[in-house]
């Protein structure tokens, strides 16, 4: 577990996005004599945690939250990605190195979230990966890794963080279209995400009395640095992208910003929705497009 220990300054955009220039000089404090223009984003005052926020759709969600004024704590595992996100976001987010498969890290993360944010409004549990392996090649270690991050890590992260989520708050998981259909080479991943989809329903029921909603987004082909697949070459990524463009009824793969919008809809706007999985797949699993 690593943590950049410097205090988080106020995000300048939140309070001082539009400097007060009523007397010809920009003020960096409130002034009763002058008209105040204070930036109020949609999520100003909200506190969010993004598990797996250094890349791809997790990072896009972090950026969307920050742009609308939320205070965000994000996690990732690889030092290189953590450093890159620290540089990119400067001091605008709390960046924490934490392995979602490690129980000691999950427990420490709970303490850091409590110390840095106190109560939170939203937790996005996004860390995950797939490995494409035919049935006969899957080892016990590979099986455990896939379930470790996509399933076990998600379960115990919710267990640890749920006490910190305030009434009216919510969790969103990232599942996958693979949890509802069969893909050769993805049986372990599909099973891991199907369990996660089921957790969304179970946790929705368990956390209902506390007024906490739990939902999932289920992406189809989305353009991210890994396309959600571990250990693939640039040529493989290009092939996935091509396949996604061909088989998706919308004839293109999705963007991380499109996923982030769905995540934040479920996280904040969908106040009468719990236990659902929202597909963000360009119609891949819903729309049959006839061949012409
Ligand atoms: N891209 C797709 O087409 C697609 C489709 C369906 C579902 N999904 C799912 O969507 C989610 C995000 O995918 P993505 O394509 O955006 O992936 P990505 O670009 O590879 O990003 C994955 C994020 O999760 C983090 N992560 C992975 N293992 C972790 C661990 N053990 N502990 C903490 N953080 C960990 C990574 O951090 P580090 O790099 O620091 O480890 C990174 O921030 C995954 O759950 C994936 O299964 C993706």
pLDDT per position as a tens digit, 180-217: 999 999 999 999 999 999 999 999 999 999 999 999 99
What range does the domain containing 169 cover?
Answer: 42-280
In a domain, 28, yes or no: no
Instruction: From 106, 65, 144, select the one nearest 97 (Cα to Cα).
Output: 106
Q: Tell whether ligand 1 has an atom less than 6 A from the beta carbon of residue 101.
A: yes
| Mutate-to-test residue for ligand 1 from 2, 86, 129, 277, highest number of ligand atoms within 8 A of CB | 129
Beta bridge partners of 76: 97
> Per-residue pLDDT tens for 70-110?
999 999 999 999 999 999 998 899 999 999 999 999 999 99
Helices 103-116 & 153-161, crossing angle to 10 degrees? Answer: 30
In a domain, 156, yes or no: yes
Is residue 44 over pLDDT 90?
yes
In a domain, 227, yes or no: yes
Q: How confident is the model at residue 34 (pLDDT cuts 50, 70, 90)?
A: very low
In a domain, 175, yes or no: yes
Query: Which atom of ligand 1 is the closest one to the Cα of 57?
Result: 16
In a domain, 52, yes or no: yes
In a domain, 26, yes or no: no
Domains in the chain, number? 1
For residue 62, give the CATH number of its domain.
3.40.50.720
Pairing of strands 213-219, 277-280: parallel
What are the helix (H) ranges across 42-152? 56-67, 79-89, 103-116, 140-147
Q: Mean of the pLDDT values across residues 260-288?
A: 97
Query: Which among 3, 30, 143, 189 is annotated as catalytic?
Result: 189
CA 228 / ligand 1 centre spacing (Å): 6
| Cα separation, 158 vs 83, whole angstroms | 26
CA 118 / ligand 1 centre spacing (Å): 26
Is residue 3 over pLDDT 80?
no
Do residues 237 and 227 make contact, with C-beta atoms less than 8 angstroms apart? yes
| Cα separation, 196 vs 12, whole angstroms | 37
pTM for the complete prediction?
Answer: 0.90
| Cα separation, 51 vs 49, whole angstroms | 6
In a domain, 3, yes or no: no
Residue 176: DSSP 8-state: -
| Mutate-to-test residue for ligand 1 from 3, 75, 77, 85, highest number of ligand atoms within 8 A of CB | 77
Q: Tell whether ligand 1 has an atom less than 6 A from the beta carbon of residue 254.
A: no
In a domain, 30, yes or no: no
> Per-residue pLDDT tens for 116-161?
999 999 999 999 999 999 999 999 999 999 999 999 999 999 999 9
Q: Tell whether ligand 1 has an atom less than 6 A from the beta carbon of residue 222.
A: yes
Is residue 58 over pLDDT 70?
yes
Tell me whether residue 143 is one of the annotated catalytic residues. no
CA-to-CA separations, 1 to 41, 78, 111, in angstroms, rounded: 31, 11, 12
């Amino acid at each position: 577990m690593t943590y950049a220990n410097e205090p988080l300054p106020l995000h300048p955009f939140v309070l001082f996005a539009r400097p007060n220039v009523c007397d010809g000089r920009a003020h960096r404090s409130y002034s009763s004599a002058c008209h105040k223009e204070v930036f109020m984003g949609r999520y100003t005052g909200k506190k969010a945690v993004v598990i797996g926020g250094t890349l791809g759709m997790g990072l896009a969600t972090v950026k969307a939250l920050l742009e609308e004024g939320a205070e965000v704590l994000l996690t990732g595992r690889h030092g290189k990605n953590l450093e890159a996100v620290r540089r990119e976001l400067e001091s605008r987010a709390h960046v924490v190195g934490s392995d979602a498969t490690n129980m000691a890290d999950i427990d420490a993360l709970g303490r850091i979230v409590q110390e840095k944010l106190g109560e939170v409004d939203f937790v996005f549990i996004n860390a995950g990966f797939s490995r494409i392996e035919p049935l006969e090649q899957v080892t016990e270690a590979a099986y455990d890794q896939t379930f470790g991050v996509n399933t076990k890590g998600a379960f115990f992260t919710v267990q640890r963080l749920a006490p910190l989520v305030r009434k009216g708050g919510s969790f969103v998981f990232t599942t996958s279209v693979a949890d509802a259909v069969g893909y050769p080479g993805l049986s372990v991943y599909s099973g891991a995400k199907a369990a996660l989809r089921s957790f969304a329903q179970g946790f929705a029921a368990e956390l209902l009395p506390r007024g906490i909603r739990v939902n999932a987004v289920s992406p189809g082909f989305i353009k991210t640095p890994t396309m959600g697949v571990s250990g693939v070459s640039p040529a493989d990524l290009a092939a996935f992208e091509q396949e996604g463009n061909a088989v998706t009824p919308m004839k293109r793969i999705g963007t991380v910003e499109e996923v982030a919008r769905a995540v934040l809809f479920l996280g904040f706007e969908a106040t009468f929705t719990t236990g659902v999985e929202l597909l963000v797949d360009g119609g891949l699993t819903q729309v049959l497009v006839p061949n012409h």
